[in-house]
Amino acid sequence: MPGTGLPPIRQLASTLGVSPVTVAAAYRRLHSRGLVIGDGRRGTRIRPNPPSPVPAVEQARVLDGLADLGTGNPDPALLPPLESALRSIGSAPRLYGEAPALTPLLTFAAGEFASDGIPADAMTVTSGGLDAIERLLREHVRPGDRVALEDPTLPALIDLVNASGYFVQPVAVDADGARPDALAEAMARGVRAIVLTSRAQNPTGAALTTDRAAQLSRVLRGQHEVLLIENDPAGPVSGVAAATLCGGAHARWAAVRSVSKFLGPDLRVAIVAGDDLTIARLQGRQSLGARWVSRILQELTLSLWSDPSSGRRLARAADVYTQRRLAAIEALAAHGLTVAARSGFNIWIPVREETATVQALADRGWAVAAGERFRIGTGPAIRVTVAALAVETAPRFAADVADAIRRSGAVSA
């Protein structure tokens, strides 16, 4: 059964009357196929079955009449209009044989990376952030290996790691991102890759500080075979400046910047910078499947992102999201609920009982997300997307949250 421990190598060899070398080879084969995992002194265990991912359409469903604070979408009113950008990209057919990545887009993105202190000598384009992470892991990690993920984190990322045959190693986070002690513990467990979020962490709103990035870099010192993937899901609308671990002494790294939160989720475009070998492997993996990201989407991304008015629009969106996030945090604090979210437009509210709290809020007209799908080992909570929560509405929402938590807590007790 999943989680069952296998006998020590010498014990099983004695029982079967074979050489320990034979048993060790069999265990290595099981490990390479993702069927078992090595767990230090606890020995070798049968790997837990990966969960079946919940279809996105189910995750995104919001009942009619409820205010949508659950699906994680940006505010449509703060996304750039598409009409003029669509007219600007022209109608000429894009054919086989063209360069996979649009050079002007890479040039523009390189400037954005450079402004955040991330080298961009090697870059490529993928179909969104998760596509980049999946391909990077596949090129660097074998089934059965450990991948460190923030806890809590994006459900789709947990599903991706589990379904790929890797073992999730949780790393606790606080307001400043992944905790150094938790990352050190993960490193001691022998992780082969780490996925960290630089800012606008989903679901907590955590953001790396310069000091925290330096502390985490010290934990990674000398671990050159471990792949570092740094995800930046909201970029310029995060509300804080970027702090990064990328481009320093660590040998294998990739910085993933998706445009979904600030240009539109349907674009499915992410720019990835990294060391030469990591980017070359990513491009090689991509060439075997999708081969390239639609040049129409790349051209549209460039048009929207580089538009002369883009900087002002993105700065305004960042300000609005910050105002809404802070209004929600302050309103919750007035009811004795402490929430730490330094960036982005998601907040994480610990509760005693998720299902009852979610239902109680639905009864009051609010759709929020239960934290179960985001959690690996951390306690129960709800994820609230405040992207479209008006500042003047925050006090009413906070009062409803406090009442829902009190009622669900009493029931749970």
Q: Is 66 exposed, middle or buried (0-12, 13-18, 19+ CB in 10 A)?
A: middle
Peptide bond preceding 203 in cis form (omega within 30 of 0): yes
Instruction: Tell which of 306, 327, 358 closes a domain.
Output: 306
Q: How far apart are CA 142 and CA 395, in angstroms?
A: 49
Q: How far apart are CA 180 and CA 245, in angstroms?
A: 13
51 falls within a domain:
no
236 falls within a domain:
yes
243 and 130 housed in the same domain: yes
Q: How far apart are CA 173 and CA 180, in angstroms?
A: 9
Q: DSSP letter at 73?
A: P
User: Is residue 100 classed as helix, strand or coil in its secondary structure?
Assistant: coil
Instruction: Tell which of 260, 280, 306 closes a domain.
Output: 306
268 falls within a domain:
yes
Q: DSSP letter at 326?
A: H
219 and 286 housed in the same domain: yes
2 falls within a domain:
no
321 and 376 housed in the same domain: yes
216 and 319 housed in the same domain: no
CB 167 within 8 A of CB 44: no
User: What CATH code is carried by the domain that includes residue 326?
Assistant: 3.90.1150.10
Query: pTM (2 decimals)?
Result: 0.87
Beta bridge partners of 255: 230, 273
237 and 362 housed in the same domain: no
14 and 151 housed in the same domain: no
Tokens at residue 403, please? 């009442």
User: What CATH code is carried by the domain that includes residue 290?
Assistant: 3.40.640.10
pLDDT 10s digit of each residue in the chain, 413 long? 566 788 888 888 788 887 877 777 777 667 655 567 666 566 777 766 554 555 544 444 566 789 999 999 999 999 999 998 999 888 888 889 888 999 999 999 999 999 999 999 999 999 999 999 999 999 999 998 999 999 999 999 999 999 999 999 999 999 999 999 999 999 999 999 999 999 999 999 999 999 999 999 999 999 989 999 999 999 999 999 999 999 888 999 999 999 999 999 999 999 999 999 999 999 998 988 889 999 999 999 999 999 989 999 999 999 999 999 999 999 999 999 999 999 999 999 999 999 999 999 999 999 999 999 999 999 999 999 999 999 999 999 999 999 999 887 644 33
1 falls within a domain:
no
**Cα angle 92, 95, 99; round to 5:** 105
130 and 183 housed in the same domain: yes
72 and 91 housed in the same domain: no
28 falls within a domain:
yes
Does an H or E element contain 168, and which?
Answer: strand 167-174
When divided into structural domains, the chain yields a total of: 3
340 and 370 housed in the same domain: yes
Q: How far apart are CA 207 and CA 186, in angstroms?
A: 20
234 and 275 housed in the same domain: yes
Q: Where are the alpha helices (DSSP H) in 96-244?
A: 103-115, 129-140, 155-163, 180-188, 210-220
Q: How far apart are CA 157 and CA 255, in angstroms?
A: 16
Distance of CA 67 to the CA centre of its chain: 25
Range of the domain at 179: 82-306
205 and 111 housed in the same domain: yes
348 and 362 housed in the same domain: yes
Distance of CA 313 to the CA centre of its chain: 25
Could you tell me the strand order of the sheet in which 146-151 lies? 123-126, 270-274, 253-258, 227-232, 191-197, 146-151, 167-174, 177-178
